Amino acid sequence: EIVASIEAAMNNGPLKGRHILVTSGPTHEPIDPVRYIANRSSGAQGSAIARALLGLGARVTFVTGPADVAAPIGVDLVEVQTAAQMLDAVQAVQNVDVGIFAAAVADWRIANASAQKIKKDGKGLPVLEFSENSDILAIVSASKTRPTLVVGFAAETQNVIENATAKRKRKGCDWIVANDVSPSTGIMGGSENDVVLITADGSEDWPPMGKDQVAQRLALKIAEALG
């Protein structure tokens, strides 16, 4: 990894001079000081993508929630906890050529989060009120300073291509990397992935491969698209 980042700094890869934003990992939405709602995301695919981009010479800003895997060496690292913090961090990044939104961002936060630990005091079960979080992918896709290429991710458990194709249009992004994260696939938390790339031209079904290989193929495809 150190070697890869040194190589990236010295080489003239096809992404040299490009600034790429990658989001990664889960977000944690607090319920009270000791409890939170989380998404099942190790951050492995996001980190692999950042490494592959560095390897092709890009400058990478890496905005990550509390992931299991370490952030790659050589990125500009921004660590956040919640979806709201991730949006703020993303909006603070300037002059982005490509935005890759691999983080598993919580769709909802707890509107009535408690400053004190909720006690099991016989008063019955807690009532959690939810608020919808801002949609980072849709906001970036519609922004005046939109990156040239915006890539979203879709973690689906059924009708993967159909759901992901609809998501691409709804969000206004250019590509969607869709995968089936049903527990039976072992993809969530595993080292392998099985993705379909959705673009304006249709869908490309990639064979099952390691997350590092998915990252490498995506990075090369991005280099090609930027020309």
Could you list the residues that contact its own copies (CB under 8 A)?
A: 28, 31, 33-41, 104, 106-108, 116-117, 119-120, 125-126, 128, 130-132, 155-158, 163, 181-183, 188
Tell me the one-letter amino acid at 65: G
**CA 90/CA 111 separation, integer angstroms:** 22
Nearer to its own copies, 5 or 130 (CB): 130
Nearer to its own copies, 94 or 158 (CB): 158
Tell me how far, at minimum, the Cβ of 91 lies from its own copies, in Å: 21
**CA 185/CA 3 separation, integer angstroms:** 33
Tell me how far, at minimum, the Cβ of 138 lies from its own copies, in Å: 11
Tell me how far, at minimum, the Cβ of 117 lies from its own copies, in Å: 5
**What pairs with residue 198 in β-bridges?**
176, 203
Sheet holding 195-199, edge to edge: 76-79, 59-64, 19-24, 98-101, 149-156, 175-180, 195-199, 202-205
Tell me how far, at minimum, the Cβ of 194 lies from its own copies, in Å: 15
Nearer to its own copies, 137 or 214 (CB): 137
The active-site residue out of 11, 39, 159, 179 is 39
Q: Is 39 a catalytic residue?
A: yes
Tell me the one-letter amino acid at 117: K
Tell me the three state secondary structure of residue 172. Answer: coil
Closest listed residue to residue 98, CA positions, set 6, 23, 10? 23
Active site members: 39
